[in-house]
Amino acid sequence: MLHLWERIRGLARVELRGAEPERLLERSRLEGLTLRHLESLDACTLRAELRQEELPALERLARGCGFSLELLSLRGGRQTGRLLRRRRVLLLSLLLMGAVLAASQLFVWQFRVLGCERLSRGQVLRALADCGVEAGTFAPGIRQEEVRSRMLTLLPELEWMTVNVSGSRATVLVRERRETPELRRTAPADIVAARPGIIRSCTVLEGLALAEPGDAVLEGEILVSGSVESLSQPPRQLRAMAEIRAETWRELIAVCPLEMLRIREQGAVSRRFSLLLGKNLRYLDWIPGKGLDECVTIVHEYTVGAEGLFALPLTLRVEERRALLPTDAAADRTEEMKAALLRRLEAETDGEILETGFSVGRRDGLLIVTLQAHCLENIAQTREYVP
């Protein structure tokens, strides 16, 4: 900071020639002159730097000591003032940009949403826009309590939210409601088989077991009855509970076209540039490409500002249209389809997967991947009585 202040006041670089430079330096110290960045070229030549305001005093002192003084350069001070006077348009532009930047800090131009899990960022921003908080909103006019009340009404999934405004950036903090645990139901019900299989073990907690290990059962067959008979009382109806582990054989199928349109890595590209000034979109121009009968559009947005400091209501949008190229999907998609079938099987199986196998075929322009699996899983499914 001190060096910057010295530059503003102005510095001069001089060269002094004469006998016994030490005598000149001693006299300069006694006169209160500050010589810095001293450089000795030879026994009679000395270079130094001092404030511009001290230059006349050094010239008088040099003549009195028999030294010649040559001015090498001037920096800052009056030279800076002359430069600014010659650059009035530049100075006015800088002042105008500073005023625009200061004014833009009173409006919200960028949003950041934190805490969303089930809700999407778009849902929160659309609800905020309905509450009057969107790009271009006057920041001091945002009423936190009113916005919070309306947001909790528009989005019942929210338990709490707030909007923190820092300059032209708004951070939306949300906390979603926790799901209420499902209450244990007590309506009478049977346990039926969720899918065909061979029973290997039965653990009955409530109800009357109708199947034993080693039995082969079909889908929907009653395994544990919720109706229990008594010799001395009428039959009681209760909610059967059990874990029935059985060997099952599953078959899952995935299908996709043999030829698919994919983005060409290197090929025809068409770009459209536009500027978003606040809420107004201004299209600039197309840079056309050839062969874009089948294409996909990719949008890139670049916001003018400094991350964490400020944002301006100016966004550059680049819309890219890239050509699509028909490709043979069999080689690329087979492994993806196998992995997707395995993930689906793991999600649907309440147990362990003992063995898996795949078969791949082509028919009528389609790629067909089939997964056969041997599993040991819990096939117990609750089915309530229909009143």
d(C-alpha 239, C-alpha 189), whole Å: 5
Q: Kindly state whether residue 370 falls inside one of the protein's structural domains.
A: yes
**251-280 average pLDDT score:** 72
**209-216 average pLDDT score:** 91
Reduce the DSSP state of residue 8 to 3 states and report it.
helix
pLDDT tens digits for range 303-320: 776 666 666 777 788 888
Rg (CA), the chain: 41
Sort strands 208-209 and 110-114 into parallel, antiparallel or unpaired: unpaired
d(C-alpha 71, C-alpha 55), whole Å: 9
Query: Which CATH number fits the domain that encloses residue 61?
Result: 3.30.70.250
Are 345 and 284 contained in the same domain?
no
* Rounded percentage of the chain residues whose pLDDT exceeds 70: 81
Ordered strands of the 158-166 beta sheet: 110-114, 169-176, 158-166
Of 152-156, 177-181, 327-331, where does mean pLDDT reach its minimum? 327-331
Domain count across the chain: 5
In terms of residue numbers, what domain contains 167? 107-176
Q: Which residue has the tokens 């322009």?
A: 365
Using a cut of 0.85, tell me whether the model's pTM lies above it. no
Helix intervals (H) in the chain: 2-9, 21-30, 55-64, 78-86, 88-104, 121-130, 144-154, 330-348
**pLDDT above 70 for 285:** no
Q: Is-contact 200 245, C-beta < 8 A?
A: yes
| Domain boundary pick from 31, 63, 81 | 81
Are 130 and 146 contained in the same domain?
yes
Q: Kindly state whether residue 282 falls inside one of the protein's structural domains.
A: yes
Reduce the DSSP state of residue 286 to 3 states and report it.
strand
| Domain boundary pick from 290, 307, 326 | 326
d(C-alpha 369, C-alpha 19), whole Å: 98
Are 322 and 340 contained in the same domain?
no
Structure tokens at 97: 């940009």
379 or 323, greater pLDDT: 379
Q: Kindly state whether residue 94 falls inside one of the protein's structural domains.
A: no
pLDDT tens digits for range 20-51: 788 888 888 788 787 888 888 888 888 888 88
**pLDDT above 90 for 15:** no
CA proximity to 272, closest of 312, 311, 322? 322
A 10 A CB-CB count for 7 gives: 13
| Domain boundary pick from 147, 176, 205 | 176
Q: Kindly state whether residue 19 falls inside one of the protein's structural domains.
A: yes
Q: Kindly state whether residue 91 falls inside one of the protein's structural domains.
A: no
Query: In angstroms, what CA-CA distances link 213 with 139, 247, 314?
Result: 70, 11, 71
Are 121 and 167 contained in the same domain?
yes
Q: In the predicted model, what is the mean pLDDT of the chain?
A: 80
Query: Which CATH number fits the domain that encloses residue 136?
Result: 3.10.20.310
Are 340 and 321 contained in the same domain?
no
Are 66 and 122 contained in the same domain?
no
Are 6 and 74 contained in the same domain?
yes
Are 125 and 169 contained in the same domain?
yes
Q: Kindly state whether residue 95 falls inside one of the protein's structural domains.
A: no
Are 12 and 73 contained in the same domain?
yes
Q: Kindly state whether residue 96 falls inside one of the protein's structural domains.
A: no
Q: Kindly state whether residue 88 falls inside one of the protein's structural domains.
A: no
Q: Is-contact 227 247, C-beta < 8 A?
A: no
Q: Is-contact 71 35, C-beta < 8 A?
A: no
Q: What is the pLDDT of residue 290?
A: 47
pLDDT tens digits for range 130-140: 988 888 888 88
State which of 104-118, 201-215, 293-307 shows the largest mean pLDDT: 201-215
d(C-alpha 38, C-alpha 42), whole Å: 12
Are 322 and 333 contained in the same domain?
no
Kindly state the DSSP code that residue 239 receives in the 8-state scheme.
B
Give the phi and the psi of residue 240 in degrees, each rounded to 5.
-70, 140
**75-96 average pLDDT score:** 66
